[in-house]
Structure 1
């Protein structure tokens, strides 16, 4: 005997369909062993580290591991612009001069589908994961979400 389950159409579900589906918390998919930078670190060290490790950005933390910003390849491109247009030498510039201090973050219990939706609605490539005290505990990237999608079931049964 074959059994074909009846599917519930999205419009028939109660509530927000995105919130109805649980794919698991970010903590299951985030990277915890991160390269981080300090505000007072030389910007040329950051550029070298990004290139050496083939990463496009990293969190900036203070001595208490609290997130204070994020530095990306795009932020580092400003180094070239500053050097070319304003004749500002590279070697005396710090991370704090180029980092983005306003960072959008998620918590470890944020659902993966909410993060995927946030990536779709923004140009961000990564979200730092912080605890209640603002301490950095990991990072979730677009690539991490794509890797997770290969592990997830393609059908949700109701």
Structure 2
């Protein structure tokens, strides 16, 4: 089994110039926790996750739930942010960071795979003790995004393979 057998080809992406606030709002509504960042040519230049975005507003000691967006807070989705009550400038931090481009918070050194990457190599990458990788962008020889393989895709494939072998 190879990446091409596992990957999702309809991948939601963001641009390096997209505003942090917009991406945070999209991510709050998504059923996954990160986007590949692609340039105008479709080349993967980074990846941005919930952790990257929420960490812009994260301090220490306590939890504060903040709504996504700006007044009148049309969206009711919220994020938990650890906040020290001594640091009352969380709202200022939110406004200061909201219009930053995603390129300022994304991970630029992305581990990618090609469509012919074998399942065992994919498992090794996703289970690496040094990195916390949840998804692997699949790129062609020019670095253009052609799909994505998530941990759940691998687990589903292993389950399906077992079912076929066992007949149950």
Q: Return the index of the structure with the highest Cα Rg.
A: 1
Query: Any stretches of 5+ residues in structure 2 without a counterpart?
Result: 60-88
Native 8 Å contact 1:126 1:139 kept in 2: yes
Match for residue 152 of structure 1 among 137, 158, 161: 161
Match for residue 48 of structure 2 among 52, 58, 71: 71
Aligned partners of 2:57, 2:98: CA distance in 1, in Å? 12
Aligned partners of 1:92, 1:153: CA distance in 2, in Å? 47
Question: Going by fraction, where is strand more abundant, 1 or 2?
Answer: 2
Native 8 Å contact 1:78 1:98 kept in 2: no
Query: Any stretches of 5+ residues in structure 1 without a counterpart?
Result: 1-23
Give the C-alpha shift of residue 113 in structure 1.
Answer: 1.8
After TM superposition, the structure 1 stretch with the greater mean CA deviation from structure 2, 126-135 or 73-82, is 73-82
Aligned residues: 132
Native 8 Å contact 1:71 1:98 kept in 2: yes
TM-score by length of 2: 0.72
Give the C-alpha shift of residue 85 in structure 1.
Answer: 10
Query: Could you list the runs of 4 or more consecutive aligned residues of structure 1 that deviate by over 3 angstroms after TM superposition?
Result: 81-88
Aligned partners of 2:58, 2:160: CA distance in 1, in Å? 42
TM-score by length of 1: 0.76
